[in-house]
Amino acid sequence: MKKQYDFSQGKRGAVVPTPPGKTRITIRLDDDILDWFRAQVHAAGGGNYQTLINTALQDYIAHRREPLEDTLRRVLREELPKKGARPPKVLQRTG
């Protein structure tokens, strides 16, 4: 090694510090899953596939915690046309 290199003040570990609220982990994902997330980022013109995976996991957790009634209301709002449409009338059985 050349004498002009001085690593006496060097530190081991990640070069970029982990931001607060984030934890650096190692995870094994199927190749097709990782390819899909990378392709989504590429199609969007750039970004970070890890951020996209994090967002997908957050969405999954949010919907898993969502009560059934809230889920039904959300789906109806998303699926029914916004202008002038009314939900179909529910026929009640008699007798």
CA 36 to the chain's CA centroid: 13
Residue 48 neighbours by CB under 8 Å, 6+ apart? 41
Q: Which two tokens stand for residue 14?
A: 């990640």
Is the pTM value of this prediction over 0.75? no
Least reliable range by pLDDT among 6-10, 19-23, 66-70, 78-82 = 78-82
Q: So what's the pLDDT on residue 75?
A: 84
10-45 pLDDT, tens digit each: 878 767 788 899 998 999 999 999 999 999 999 999
